[in-house]
Amino acid sequence: MLTHIHVRNLAIVDEIDVELTAGMTALTGETGAGKSILVDALGLVLGDRADSSVVRHGCERAEISAGFDIRDNAGATTWLVQRDLDMEGECQLRRIISREGRTRGYINGQTAPMQSLRELGELLVDIHGQHEHQSLLRSDVQRELLDAFGGHQKLLSQTGSIYNDWKAAIQGLEAVISDAAERDARLDLLRYQLQELEALELSSEAIRNIDAEHARQANAGHLLAASQQALNRLDAEEGNSAYILISKTLEQLKELSALDSRLEETTRLLDEAAVLVQEGTDTLRNYSDSLEIDPERLQWLEQRTGLLHDLARKHRCTPGDLPEIETNIRLELEHIENADQHRDALQAKLASLEQTWLATAKQLSGKRRKAARTFNKEITASMQTLGMKGGVFEVSIKTRKDPSPGSHGLEDIEFMVSANTGQPVQPLSKVASGGELSRVSLSIQVISAGGATIPTMIFDEVDSGIGGGVAEIVGQKLRALGTERQVLCVTHLPQVAALANQQMQVTKLSGEESTRTRIRTLNEEERVDELARMLGGVKITKQTREHAREMMQLAGNPRADKPSKKRTKQTG
């Protein structure tokens, strides 16, 4: 839901700040006051094309900001989350247009291209009239509305699920067929590679052992000499070896500890050290005795290590990864050798899925055609009440030329309309009059409101060319739609404005050097004044005001018979 919009230096607006509520809001004002300025501003912040001419004269840039509560808008929430732009149930859009023609967009404080603003905008607002954000003109939205009206969600889900399985099977079959084209050459290569790897009897432990033994044999001379030197330092029969020095020191300390008990701990530690030195010496001596310089073994290990490194370079890995490479090659070899069996299974699965999908899609087609007949009658009847006598609405359901399964069934759906008697029906997107398009859209939206997903609707020119009882019907439909979604309507008819839950007045203030527009929310008494102006023109009589008050009472605004002295804060 749109919660607020702030506009600075746009056209004749210096600054306006508008808070919006749920339900139906009417935007009224004298001709030429700029009632559509809010709609235009919203279109710009949602990514409409703009140039420097929209910047207020004498200013460097125009700026529009809009805030939305999207806690109940799953589509917009998902879009933001997927792009790491979510902000806990809120959405803030901003657009800056400079005098030089440069433009910048922001989504929740992050810079964003105009395409992103447009994509997100289509999930937030529907603008009905001569604007670009009317999702109802898109064939996919038309199909969704018909299916929602007919309650086809379960069948749609089944159709889509079967299609996804079919698509996965197609991709698997294509992979198998592609493999078959090069299968023989691939088989020869894999068998050769596997033979090379198996010949080495590879395992991760074996590779580690070879590396360790090779390092030991390659350095056997150095290891032997160094270990002998260490033994001499630790336990030589003559000289000052570590063991002899510790033993002599220990004898002295044992004598001294008899004189001073505080040396007993030191004596104990050196005694343990002497034992450990002796144990370490024995272990090192055993190690030294085990060392053997074997040139033939070293040559074999070097050959083996060379083979491992050659294979690793061939497979672009480390020697330690070769066992995993061997496993993967064996699995691929088994897969290709069983390709014919796998292909036959996939072809059988595809045939079964196609039959299941076709049966489900045909069931969906029958329900769509049945729902379309009721949909046509209800919208056509609604058009007769909205000043389009003889108008006709039809849902065109055409079987797709491509017979293969699709995610949405067998048909392409398109809304067709004739606004006047004798005129052939044509696609809704080609209806020329903005007012007629808005009224047809209103009929469709009211009848299919329960299945709609976009929470905010704006109607511009919806009451163009109508009046009297038709205008009241338009107002009633807008108010009814406002119970399901937020509705903003630009209107010049009191019959429509009287039915709004909230009314805003647009006025144009002209000074000696500039003109500016302001928008303010009206309280009950101010609404009576505004409706009286819309009814009676320049001179407002007592009777006109009473008529206006009666209109509000009949519209279901119970406080209209209690004049209020409260004045709302002006914005702009």
pLDDT tens by residue, 373-410: 999 999 999 888 887 888 899 999 999 888 889 989 99
pLDDT at 511: 66
Q: Closest by alpha carbon to 234, among 196, 261, 273, 206?
A: 273
pLDDT at residue 55 greater than cutoff 50: yes
pLDDT at residue 22 greater than cutoff 80: yes
Q: Give the model's confidence band at 562: pLDDT under 50 very low, under 70 low, under 90 confident, else very high.
A: very low
The rounded distance, in Å, linking the Cα atoms of 89 and 94 is 17
The rounded distance, in Å, linking the Cα atoms of 107 and 120 is 9
Question: Look-up: residue for tokens 């007919």?
Answer: 150
pLDDT at residue 448 greater than cutoff 90: no
pLDDT at residue 564 greater than cutoff 50: no
The rounded distance, in Å, linking the Cα atoms of 1 and 441 is 19
Q: Give the model's confidence band at 569: pLDDT under 50 very low, under 70 low, under 90 confident, else very high.
A: very low
The rounded distance, in Å, linking the Cα atoms of 276 and 350 is 75
The rounded distance, in Å, linking the Cα atoms of 371 and 567 is 50
Average pLDDT, the chain: 83
- Secondary element (H or E) of residue 144: helix 139-150
Q: Is the dihedral of CA 208, 213, 218, 219 positive or negative?
A: positive
CA 196 to chain centroid? 49
pLDDT at residue 543 greater than cutoff 90: no
Lowest-confidence segment of 44-48, 50-54, 181-185 by average pLDDT: 181-185
Q: Give the model's confidence band at 433: pLDDT under 50 very low, under 70 low, under 90 confident, else very high.
A: low
Q: Euclidean distance between the first and final Cα of the chain, in Å?
A: 22
Most confident of 267-281, 367-381, 458-472, 514-528: 367-381
Q: Closest by alpha carbon to 55, among 107, 24, 100?
A: 100
More confident residue, 388 or 467: 388
CB 405 within 8 A of CB 354: yes
CA 89 to chain centroid? 14
Question: Would strands 90-98 and 103-107 be described as parallel, antiparallel, or unpaired?
Answer: antiparallel
CB 491 within 8 A of CB 512: no
The rounded distance, in Å, linking the Cα atoms of 74 and 470 is 36
Percentage of the chain with pLDDT > 90? 24
Both structure tokens of 191: 């068998």
pLDDT at residue 536 greater than cutoff 70: yes
Beta-carbon neighbour count of residue 485 at 10 Å? 19
Q: Which alpha helices (DSSP H) does 386-455 contain, by range?
A: 434-447
pLDDT at residue 271 greater than cutoff 80: yes
CB 39 within 8 A of CB 490: yes
pLDDT at 304: 77
pLDDT at residue 357 greater than cutoff 90: yes
Residue type, 142: Q
